[in-house]
């Protein structure tokens, strides 16, 4: 089982891969390793909360623009619920501060972890290789990590194709476009004035509202936490 192929085996396999190919035809080939994320990319993700119920917060279908910016240690998710005119921003900084806001409300949270590093999947305790699978008509390698994400990468190119979180919401995210090197202009990262209210006028009433729809971002934070812990 792929489950039993642990880190030592992966390390040993990586060290001997070229020699093995030349000298021992009978040895099983080592499982492939996930491609690190590029330092900069923009991806459009189609998101489905597959375990949606009327009790869930927020509608189940979203489009998310993900801007990953490792050189500046920041990550932005621009989340659009189906037919909603007001997108949600989730701006994450490496110091753990995260701003969630839309045009009228804002919530600021502090996390113990920063932005996911490009090697979050292959680094630390390596992801468990789960084999090959065709999803969305694309031939993929599949890995699981830390018991809460299943990650699909295109065999031919190493591009991310899809990831599913093992979570009660059953979140699945499908990469619809993927542009390496694309950055979002600085002004778009700036949290708006209503994230910095005067102490006296502070209103917490809208905080719950803006939290809707950010399950995937929260799970990625949890993943960053696990990437450090494991
Ligand atoms: C979302 O997931 C649900 C549950 O698996 C499925 O029935 C539905 O067709 C999916 N919707 C889309 C648009 O993919
Ligand atoms: C973290 O960095 C962001 C962006 O520079 C800043 O707005 C925020 O205040 C910082 N948080 C802390 C706790 O320093
Ligand atoms: C689906 O969500 C319900 C709560 O809405 C939860 O009780 C159930 O365990 C979830 N199903 C899965 C497979 O996680």
Shortest-distance Cα residue to atom 2 of ligand 3 = 168
Q: Are strands 61-69 and 128-135 parallel, antiparallel or unpaired?
A: unpaired
Which residues form ligand 3's pocket by a CB distance below 6 Å?
51, 53, 55, 168
Q: The whole model's pTM is what?
A: 0.81
Write down the domain spans for the chain: 40-120+173-223
Local structure of residue 44 (DSSP, 8 states): E
Does the pLDDT at position 228 exceed 70? no
Cα–Cα distance for residue pair 94/131, rounded to 1 Å: 33
For residue 190 and ligand 2, the question of a CB distance below 6 A is answered with no
**Reported confidence tier of residue 147, pLDDT bands at 50, 70, 90:** confident
Ligand 1 site, residue 48, Cβ cutoff 6 A: yes
pLDDT score at 214: 64
d(CA 94, CA 112): 10
Q: How many residues does the chain have?
A: 230
Q: How confident is the model at residue 68 (pLDDT cuts 50, 70, 90)?
A: very high
């Amino acid at each position: 089982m792929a489950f039993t192929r642990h880190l030592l085996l992966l390390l040993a396999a990586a060290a001997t891969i070229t020699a093995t190919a030349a000298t021992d035809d009978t040895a099983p080939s080592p499982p492939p390793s996930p491609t690190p994320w590029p330092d900069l990319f923009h991806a459009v993700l189609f998101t489905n909360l597959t375990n949606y119920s009327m009790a869930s917060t927020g509608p189940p279908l979203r489009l998310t623009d993900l801007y990953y910016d490792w050189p500046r240690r920041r990550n932005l998710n621009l989340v659009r619920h189906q037919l909603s005119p007001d997108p949600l921003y989730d701006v994450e900084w490496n110091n753990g501060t995260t701003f969630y806001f839309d045009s009228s409300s804002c919530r600021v949270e502090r996390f113990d972890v920063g932005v996911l590093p490009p090697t979050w999947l292959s680094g630390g305790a390596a992801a468990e290789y789960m084999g090959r699978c065709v999803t969305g008509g694309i031939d993929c390698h599949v890995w699981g990590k830390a018991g809460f994400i299943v990650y699909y990468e295109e065999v031919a190119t190493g591009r991310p194709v899809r990831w599913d979180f093992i979570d009660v919401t059953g979140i699945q995210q499908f990469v619809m476009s993927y542009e390496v090197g694309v950055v979002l202009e600085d002004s778009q990262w700036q949290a708006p004035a209503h994230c910095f209210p005067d102490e006296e006028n502070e209103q917490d009433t809208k905080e719950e509202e803006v939290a809707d729809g950010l399950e995937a971002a929260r799970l990625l934070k949890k993943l960053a936490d696990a990437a450090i812990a494991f």
